[in-house]
Amino acid sequence: MSGSLGRDWLGAHLPHRGAMSLLDEVVSWSAERLHARAVSHASAANPLRLDGRLPIAIAIEYGAQAAAAHGALAADGTPANAGFLASVRGVTFHASRLDDIGAPLDIEVERAGEGAGAVLYGFRVSAAGRLLAEGRVAIVLDAPLASAGIE
């Protein structure tokens, strides 16, 4: 499937609100993959900045939010329960920070497996063809939004 989905769709389908909603659009997706784009890394108002900088480790959150978007699309309109980032593995950073990257971030996730109430995604964050970070995230599912405390 393809066709861009913007901030309105993301806001209606993901639990992330306000400045913590890091993605700007879903560029394309399929049953196993999703490509998202973001420019929030360049914003001085990004809430994940530390001493005015956005450490490269924040690429993990971009990957997790793209995985959440893929999960919402896979649910096909069914109200989703909250997922919680449970594990990060095999992460390699190819830069030291994100705020000095002038191009939009391209975030790609691929569903790698599922079981025992969790789903595993591989992620890659790049900009202008330069790989910035890659790894895997495990998301625990079936946690009701009311108990998640996400506002």
Using CA atoms of 89, 92, 98, 102 in order, give the dihedral in degrees to the nearest 10.
Answer: -130
pLDDT of residue 147: 47
For 57-110, the pLDDT digits (tens) are 999 999 999 999 998 888 876 655 677 889 999 999 999 999 999 999 999 999
* Domain residue ranges in the chain: 2-148
Sign of the dihedral defined by the CA atoms of residues 20, 48, 75, 81, in that order: negative
- Coil, strand, or helix at residue 106? strand
Cα torsion through 86, 90, 91, 93, rounded to 10: 170
pLDDT in tens, 26-63: 999 999 999 999 999 999 999 999 999 999 999 999 99
Structure tokens at 21: 């909603």
Q: Report the predicted TM-score, pTM, of the whole model to 2 decimal places.
A: 0.89
Per DSSP, the three-state class of 102 is coil
CATH of segment(s) 2-148: 3.10.129.10
